[in-house]
Amino acid sequence: MSANASSSRHAVTPFPSRRPSWTERTFVASDEAEAALCSDRPEFIKRKEILNLVPERIKKRIIHTGDNAQIKGFEELFIYLNENPGQKKLRQLIISYFKSSPSLHELLSQCNSKGVTLR
């Protein structure tokens, strides 16, 4: 067997590209957005129209006074938003929350900062 034939049998085939998650499409850097939202928690928890749409198990962590619970709560919120495409209203409220905050606005992707809703 020639060297070329051998190397072509073991050539790496590219994986099909995966579709970016909602948070990856919505934010410039989703991990930074999650951390920034956690830091903005005192203002976020005042937004009852958002919290009313957050599942109870996640909401309990976000409103908990312990730092670790809050961090885990926002992490779970971002996972929930990624895994539940039917949560369009909650997603839109999160985008609106980021748009309305001078410190969070810059974390939105270019499309979302101009008012385009990514699904």
- pLDDT tens across 70-96, in order? 999 999 999 999 999 999 999 999 999
pLDDT at position 113:
56
Q: With CA atoms as reference, report the closest residue to 79 among 103, 104, 61, 102.
A: 61
Centre a 10 Å sphere on the Cβ of residue 20 and count the other Cβ atoms it contains: 12
pTM equals 0.78
Q: What is the pLDDT of residues 44-76, one digit of tens each?
A: 999 999 999 999 999 999 999 887 889 999 999
Q: Check whether 14 has a pLDDT greater than 60.
A: no
Q: Grade residue 19 by pLDDT with cuts at 50, 70 and 90.
A: confident
60 vs 109: CA distance, rounded Å: 29
What digits encode the pLDDT tens for the residues 100-110?
999 999 999 97
